[in-house]
Chain A
Amino acid sequence: MHRLYLVPTLLINVVIIFIPAMLTIALAFCRWDGIGVPTYVGLANFRALATDRVFWMALGNNVIWTAIFLTIPIAMGLLAATMMLVARRGSAFFQVVYFLPVVIATAITARVWQGMIYSPLTGVAGLITRAGFPVPNPLTLPSTALYGIAAVDLWHWWGFLCVIFFAALRQVPQEQIEAARIEGASFWQMLRYVLIPGIRPTITLMMIMTIIWSFLVFDFVYILTQGGPAFSSEVLSTLAYRSAFYDLAVGKAAAVAVVISLFGLATTAVYIRLQAKELDQ
């Protein structure tokens, strides 16, 4: 009888996740313009992706994006959270300040950075340039466009990690921290031997989620550059979006979506394995 309680959530999952997921997988093997009737084409969409240089550029950009978000915001979040733990005064204020960008809608954050920071006409970059120190708009150069977008997302994202890590750090037994202090541990020793091991499950979960989210990144890229200039900031999700809604190649878009999901699945499998290992210990 108690299993009936699962029905509502199961139903929601089947309707909202399982059926669309299955349809997407099926469409990846079809040619479809999003309007007429799909026709089965086997692996043609995947073969086309394998020879599509834009697909490989997008995949490479997703890997770079993942590397950036696995290091910089996690390091920044950890450092700021630890400092808030050590120097408790004002920690509530800093938590609010760090978390504030997370609650601003991504579209607004992106437009603010585009217009008020990066723009050569209306932004800080333009102001500095007019003062005699030329600062290019990073979004307009193929070599920096992806990093320019990543900087906006980092500003928006790292506060979230900071607050999560701070909440986890507060669960580290106080006696361990006190003991380390009495033993004369420095800040870095405390971080390395007490705090990080104490919140390792949280860090692992955040890293896993970072990998999954990095392969899903879309909003900032689409608003700031639409994948340009010259495909330099194209990622898999913008490629899928463009294929589905501009090229009317829904089958190809579905194939890209399947590739994105494969990375998410692989990461989830690693996480489940790690969790199982921890439980065994």
Chain B
Amino acid sequence: MDRRTFLVGGLGASLVPLMNRFAFAAGQPVSWWYESAAPAQQAAIADVLVGGFNAAHPEYSLAVDYRGSELDKQMRVALLSGNGPDVVYTAGPSYVAPMARAGQLLALDDYAKKYGWNERILPVFLEMGRYDGKLYAVPKTYETLGLFYNKAVLAKNGWKVPATLAELEALADEALKAKLVPFASGNAGWRGNNEHYVTIVFNSIAGPDNVYKALKGELPWTAEPFVTAIDRLNSWWQKGYFGPDYFSLETEQFFAQMAAGRSPMLPSGTWHFQYIQSYFKDNADDCGFVGFPSADGLGDPVYALGVGSTLSIAAASQNPDGAAAAIDYVFSPEFYSKMNSVWQGEWNTPLEDLSMVKISSEVPALYAESMKALADAVGDNKYGYTSWTFLPPATNTQLINGIEEVWLGRATVADYLGQIDAAFREELADGKVPAVPNR
């Protein structure tokens, strides 16, 4: 290779990264960084999101880049340096306020007006994305916690689906006698799974009204209802409801444990719907889901409201109109129908009106029923609060890690709640507590 060829080739190669910026023929680029997704899920994104959006908006060219579980850290560093994608995907509402305060996000109010988001999205979720009176984020998906159960195991043993806490504990005790692990559970892959159980008892035993007061700073986390809730959770651990392998099992492993009939119940979130067809295979109807039973006096099961991720537009975006169009596309009944037909639990966008949604008949009817129950609970203002959505970061870390100390006898319930309360007071004073819609 002579020198001139080398120089021309080198110059050409160096221009390749810039091609994206000048890809006039394919429409103006819109970038979106996504977390990790399995190959089948990436195919769904390529087909339903990217393919669907680019076909509907030929003036734009959406590209999704997978950043894995480190997305959140990469996003923060990128935004800090004035770079990053057009569509900002955050790990939840608690990250939105600091980003908005730092001027890294664009206010979405004008786009909300233009596209009619205020009418199409459940109002509670718009409240959660506000900072200083302006809308900065909309939730990509919302979820809740409840109780999955294996109908075949219950039928074989003559057990009923528990409707009260007493029935739940009676069933768990029977399961222990039958050498089954009552709750399929584990945290080897994601230590954050601990918080699902704390959230469940806070809402189903302490009650959502008390959680609301605590989130508003009107009730300490050391108050009696929370002590009762954690005491109850600890008693379940000590009795062996969570099994001997809790710290060894990853999420899919414990879901498989329930599908294989080694556990009758699995208390966790609606994102597990995505595993039903993989693990129950032809027996998908054997998987049931109900709201987690509540303590006496609380009435119906409490659906704790969770937002696992939000969508915003970067203040430094080169194409904010394209990013807004992409976000708007996600909030269409057409997208909801197609995406939830192939991938359940991760794209449950908070649409006000689900009457236009048509989910494939191959998806268990249970999924649509559960999502409707949650939407109704939100509409009726009868929802609870998940820790990952409503608690500030350091408080939530303490809630996740500290409960292990209680379970393993290295801290008392009072110490644990005292540490949560101390962390919360500090973050409340710093303005880090996410927006909590009025009850």
Q: Residues of A at under 8 Å CB distance from B? A: 33-37, 114, 118-121, 137, 139-140, 142, 226-231, 242, 245-249
Contacts and interface: CB of A to CB of B under 8 A. Distances in A.
Nearest to B257: A121
Nearest to A245: B73
A37 B98 CA distance: 10
B248 interface: yes
A140 B72 contact: no
A36 B247 contact: no
A140 B393 contact: no
Contact of B397 (A33, A230, A242): A242
B408 A248 contact: no
Contacts of B247: 137, 139-140, 228-229
B404 A229 contact: yes
Contact of A229 (B72, B79, B408): B408
B408 A36 contact: no
Contacts of B171: none
A181 to B, nearest CB: 52
Chain B binding surface SS class: helix
A231 B104 CA distance: 34
B245 interface: yes
Contacts of B98: 33, 35-36, 248
Given A35-B99, A137-B245, A139-B247, A228 B401 contact: yes
B410 A114 contact: no
Contacts of A248: 98, 393-394, 432
Interface of B: 72-73, 76, 79-80, 98-99, 101-102, 104, 187-188, 191, 244-249, 253, 393-394, 397, 401, 404-405, 407-408, 410-411, 432
Contacts, number: 70
A81 B225 CA distance: 63
Contact of B408 (A119, A121, A142, A242): A142
Contact of B80 (A35, A119, A242): A35
Contact of A139 (B248, B253, B411): B248
Q: Tell me whether chain A's interface is mostly helix, strand or loop, or mixed.
A: loop
A126 to B, nearest CB: 9
Contacts of B99: 35
| Most chain B CB neighbours (cut-off 10 Å) among A34, A120, A231, A246 | A246
Contacts of A137: 245, 247-248
Given A35-B76, A230-B408, 10 more contacts: A35-B104, A36-B101, A36-B102, A114-B188, A228-B187, A228-B401, A229-B408, A231-B401, A242-B397, A248-B432
19 contacts: A34-B80, A35-B98, A35-B104, A120-B245, A120-B248, A121-B248, A121-B249, A140-B245, A140-B248, A228-B247, A228-B404, A229-B247, A230-B401, A230-B407, A230-B410, A242-B397, A245-B72, A247-B393, A248-B394
Nearest to A37: B102
A81 to B, nearest CB: 36
Given A35-B80, A142-B410, A246 B245 contact: no
A249 B101 contact: no
A246 B410 CA distance: 23
A231 B432 CA distance: 25
Contacts of B411: 230
Contacts of A120: 244-245, 248
A46 B394 CA distance: 17
Across the A-B interface, give the 3 residue pairs with the lowest CB-CB distance, nearest first: A140-B247, A247-B394, A230-B404
Contacts of B72: 245
A228 B102 contact: no
Contacts of B187: 228
Contact of A226 (B80, B191, B244, B410): B191
A73 B364 CA distance: 55
Contacts of B76: 34-35
A248 B90 CA distance: 14
Contacts of B405: 230-231
Nearest to B98: A35
Contacts of A34: 76, 80
In the complex, which of the residues B102, B188, B245, B253 has the most CB atoms of chain A within 10 Å of its own CB atom?
B188
Contacts of A140: 245-248
